[in-house]
Amino acid sequence: DAKTTQPNSMESNEEEPVHLPCNHSTISGTDYIHWYRQLPSQGPEYVIHGLTSNVNNRMASLAIAEDRKSSTLILHRATLRDAAVYYCILQGGTSYGKLTFGQGTILTVHP
């Protein structure tokens, strides 16, 4: 499985934008980039995914580099509820549903 690299931790202030980076230099052409997050004492939850184009949904935006070797999850206005571990995961056509979680980024949001 292609690997992702994320910073161990990041900090933000409430109501400010947060940019969470992910490097995936060995991504293949059929790999989708997925982001999940895990709030304290909860199971992971889906945030967003994309293939080549930037994507927006009600939770976040995903900016994908033109060469697809990196991506950035953007939380437009962080809230205290966004404090979580954020996982960037590649899922390709042959993964058949397997999600391989890396270490993720621990996001701390300060009031």
Partner 1 sequence: DTEVTQTPKHLVMGMTNKKSLKCEQHMGHRAMYWYKQKAKKPPELMFVYSYEKLSINESVPSRFSPECPNSSLLNLHLHALQPEDSALYLCASSLARFSTDTQYFGPGTRLTVL
Nearer to partner 1, 65 or 99 (CB): 99
Question: Would you count residue 3 as binding partner 1 (CB under 8 A)?
Answer: no
- Report which residue type is found at 10: M
Q: Which of 9, 52, 65, 99 binds partner 1 (CB under 8 A)?
A: 99
Nearer to partner 1, 46 or 80 (CB): 46
Q: How many residues does the chain have?
A: 111
Question: DSSP per residue over 49-92, as a string?
Answer: EESSS-EE-SS-EEEE-TTSSEEEEEESS--GGG-EEEEEEEE-
Stretch of 11-19, 43-51, 52-60, 66-74 lying at the interface with partner 1 (CB under 8 A): 43-51
Number of helices (H), then strands (E), belonging to the chain: the values are 0, 9
Binding mask 46-75 for partner 1 (x = CB under 8 A): x--x--------------------------
H or E element that contains 12: strand 9-13
Interface residue list for partner 1 (CB under 8 A):
30-32, 36, 41-46, 49, 85, 87, 91-93, 95-104
